């Protein structure tokens, strides 16, 4: 069947700019302009209204294909801002039986909520299959990037799922051509057939600035994401060459870095700022400044933004260890507002074991360069305090490093942010956890029970308990300043 129309259904997640469907629909419009497209965003509906909204949209637009885009599969993150971490730690480490019982109850409720969300998403996909059996069903998005095979098992027969970038795959879906050279999973005769991606999408040559006028025509709720101070996402590149042992982004996005042209990025930002009133941007790359080799293009991108004199404040996942004086200056002048630096540990041997590829002497120099360049935003220092091979001494060294960074920028600007290492499938950390017996070789990363979630957080004994306790105490007593208080508690305990 020739595809003449597509309805994109962005499945529900905590409200966030829907970059996936916006980039995809823009691409399809430019390559197959005759195709009619429409976007419906479940993030904007109450749970109870989702089914009705989906059916209404299908009946109104009569699409040939329904393209589901699914963002989060692991909504839980083991960080100090996640309430479920508090309940998990209280349940496992508190001596107070009443608090433990309360946390067991609340933790269980949250796990049920997570599972409920996953079930609801799958049931919307199955609903289309049942009620509109002639429609093609396609699915993709970040949730499929890591777990393509496991997710595909739960899709209806005949549905096609795409993992990772979707531009070339969606054209093949539209044209009905062979898909097995894509990262694809198809459910056929009850079995999942997998394809393998052969080539990355040529981002540099093919990517153009999004036509936001067109997007606002096919996405009536687009205006919802154009409120003042709402963070809009722009992608500047794909891929990260590092192999930090805990990170799965290379698997999702590739280890080869592919760039969009600086003028394309800046022109996209300019339209958003001048025509749509946007003033806050998140560059939604795996890593904004992935290596020394990317310096010229990153710098050119910032030049283009500066030349256009855009009033924006931006942020991104960002490493600063390779920053130069000129790059630091351009980051600040182009509107960098917040730094989230994932140093993970402040102890060089631990950072080396984690293969983060960062040397602290260079990192301190980089901090000084940022300070001299006039950076005045806040700085989150992500710390995973119980990495493999951690001892009391390495934790004390981390605290010392954080204090040295605070000496450079000023303590008020630094926010240590506690986030345990999550064990992601297909990472070196997962292999290590299996070797150590923390995880079973056949662990299911999508199983959301209190016990399985606990196993997917790396916080083993003997340090797990004192760290957990320090975190519970700080979350309870100093909710506005958790990180510094955890470090103070641990300094007292371990010195």
Distance, in Å, from the CA atom of 495 to the CA atom of 490, rounded to the nearest integer, reads: 8
Q: Which of 152, 240, 310, 472 binds ligand SF4 (CB under 6 A)?
A: 240
**Which lies closer to ligand B12 via its Cβ, residue 203 or residue 297?**
203
Strands (E), 123-262: 136-140, 160-162, 184-188, 191-194, 231-234, 237-238, 258-259
Residue 23 interface partner, choices ligand B12, ligand SF4, none, CB cut-off 5-8 Å depending on type? ligand B12
Q: Which of 71, 183, 237, 415 binds ligand B12 (CB under 6 A)?
A: 71
Span 304-343, contacts to ligand SF4 by CB under 6 A: 319, 342
Q: Which of 3, 73, 155, 318 binds ligand B12 (CB under 6 A)?
A: 73
Q: What is the dihedral of CA 69, 231, 118, 116, to 10 degrees?
A: -140
Distance, in Å, from the CA atom of 142 to the CA atom of 437, rounded to the nearest integer, reads: 29
Residue 16 interacts with ligand B12 (CB under 6 A): yes or no: yes
Q: Which of 63, 163, 250, 464 binds ligand SF4 (CB under 6 A)?
A: 250
Residue 69 interface partner, choices ligand SF4, ligand B12, none, CB cut-off 5-8 Å depending on type? ligand B12
Contact 61, 7 (CB under 8 A): yes
Residue 276 interacts with ligand SF4 (CB under 6 A): yes or no: no
Calculate the alpha carbon distances from 435 to 429, 430, 454, 457, 464 in Å.
10, 9, 17, 15, 19
Span 337-396, contacts to ligand SF4 by CB under 6 A: 342
Distance, in Å, from the CA atom of 238 to the CA atom of 466, rounded to the nearest integer, reads: 39
Contact segment (CB under 6 A) with ligand SF4 among 45-53, 97-105, 237-245, 454-462 equals 237-245
Residue 247 interacts with ligand SF4 (CB under 6 A): yes or no: yes
Supply 413's token pair.
């600007």
**Which lies closer to ligand SF4 via its Cβ, residue 227 or residue 359?**
359
Span 280-299, contacts to ligand B12 by CB under 6 A: 282, 284, 286
Distance, in Å, from the CA atom of 462 to the CA atom of 392, rounded to the nearest integer, reads: 10
Contact 264, 207 (CB under 8 A): yes
Supply 485's token pair.
């208080």
Contact 121, 226 (CB under 8 A): no
Contact 433, 423 (CB under 8 A): yes
Q: Which of 3, 7, 12, 19 binds ligand B12 (CB under 6 A)?
A: 19
Residue 27 interacts with ligand SF4 (CB under 6 A): yes or no: no
Residue 244 interacts with ligand SF4 (CB under 6 A): yes or no: yes
Residue with tokens 């119980």: 386
Residue with tokens 């609801």: 120
Residue 433 interacts with ligand SF4 (CB under 6 A): yes or no: no
DSSP string, 67-98: EEE---S-----BTT-HHHHHHHHHHH-S-HH
**Which lies closer to ligand SF4 via its Cβ, residue 25 or residue 247?**
247
Residue 287 interacts with ligand SF4 (CB under 6 A): yes or no: yes
Residue 249 interacts with ligand B12 (CB under 6 A): yes or no: yes
Which of 82, 111, 138 has the alpha carbon at shortest distance from 482? 82
Q: Which of 114, 200, 230, 242 binds ligand SF4 (CB under 6 A)?
A: 242
Distance, in Å, from the CA atom of 364 to the CA atom of 406, rounded to the nearest integer, reads: 11
Residue 251 interacts with ligand SF4 (CB under 6 A): yes or no: no
In the complex, what is the shortest distance from the CB of residue 267 to ligand SF4, in angstroms, rounded to a whole number?
Answer: 26
**Which lies closer to ligand SF4 via its Cβ, residue 287 or residue 398?**
287
Distance, in Å, from the CA atom of 274 to the CA atom of 462, rounded to the nearest integer, reads: 55
Interface ranges with ligand B12 (CB under 6 A): 13-14, 16-17, 19-20, 23-24, 67, 69, 71-75, 77, 138-143, 145-146, 162, 165-167, 169-170, 231, 233, 235, 248-249, 252-253, 282, 284, 286
Q: Where along the sequence are the contacts to ligand SF4 (CB under 6 A)?
A: 240, 242, 244, 247, 249-250, 286-287, 319, 342
């Amino acid at each position: 069947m020739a595809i003449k129309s597509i309805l994109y259904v962005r499945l529900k997640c905590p409200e966030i700019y829907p970059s996936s469907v916006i980039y995809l629909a823009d691409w399809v419009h430019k390559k197959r302009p005759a195709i009619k497209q429409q976007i419906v965003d479940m993030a904007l509906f109450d749970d109870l209204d989702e089914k009705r909204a989906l059916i209404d949209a299908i009946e109104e637009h009569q699409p040939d294909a329904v393209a589901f885009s699914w963002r989060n599969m692991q909504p839980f993150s083991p960080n100090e801002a996640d309430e479920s971490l508090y309940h998990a730690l209280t349940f496992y480490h508190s001596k107070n039986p009443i608090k433990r019982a309360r946390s067991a109850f609340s933790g269980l409720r949250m796990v049920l909520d997570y599972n409920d969300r996953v079930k609801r998403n799958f049931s919307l996909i199955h609903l289309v299959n049942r009620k509109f059996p002639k429609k093609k069903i396609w699915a993709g998005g970040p949730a499929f990037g890591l777990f393509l095979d496991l997710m595909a098992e739960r899709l209806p027969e005949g549905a096609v799922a795409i993992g990772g970038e979707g531009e070339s795959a969606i054209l093949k879906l539209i044209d009905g051509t062979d898909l097995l050279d894509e990262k694809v999973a198809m459910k056929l005769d009850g079995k999942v057939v997998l394809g393998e991606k052969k080539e990355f999408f040529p981002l540099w040559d093919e990517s153009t600035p999004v036509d936001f006028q067109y997007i606002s025509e096919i996405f009536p709720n687009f205006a919802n994401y154009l409120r003042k101070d709402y963070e809009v996402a722009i992608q500047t590149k794909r891929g990260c060459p590092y192999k930090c042992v805990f990170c799965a982004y290379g698997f999702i996005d590739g280890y080869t870095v592919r760039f969009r042209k600086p003028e394309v990025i800046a022109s996209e930002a300019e339209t958003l700022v001048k025509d749509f009133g946007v003033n806050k941007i998140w560059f939604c790359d795996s890593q904004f400044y992935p290596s020394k080799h990317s310096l010229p293009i990153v710098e050119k991108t910032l030049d283009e933004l500066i030349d256009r004199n855009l009033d924006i404040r931006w942020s991104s996942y960002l490493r600063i260890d390779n920053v130069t004086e000129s790059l630091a200056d351009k980051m600040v002048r182009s509107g960098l507002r917040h730094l989230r630096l994932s140093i993970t540990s402040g102890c060089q041997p631990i950072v080396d074991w984690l293969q983060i590829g960062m040397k602290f002497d260079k990192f301190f120099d980089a901090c000084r360069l940022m300070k001299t360049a006039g950076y005045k935003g806040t700085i989150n220092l992500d710390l995973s305090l119980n990495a493999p091979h951690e001892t009391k001494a390495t934790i004390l060294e981390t605290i010392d490093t954080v204090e040295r960074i605070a000496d450079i920028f000023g303590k008020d600007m630094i926010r240590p942010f506690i986030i345990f290492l999550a064990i992601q499938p297909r990472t070196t950390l997962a292999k290590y956890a299996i070797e150590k017996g923390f995880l079973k070789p056949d662990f299911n990363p999508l199983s959301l029970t209190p016990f399985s979630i606990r196993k997917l957080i790396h916080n083993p004994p003997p340090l797990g308990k004192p760290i957990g306790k320090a975190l519970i105490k700080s979350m309870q007593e100093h909710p506005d300043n958790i990180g510094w208080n955890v470090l103070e508690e641990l300094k007292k305990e371990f010195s």
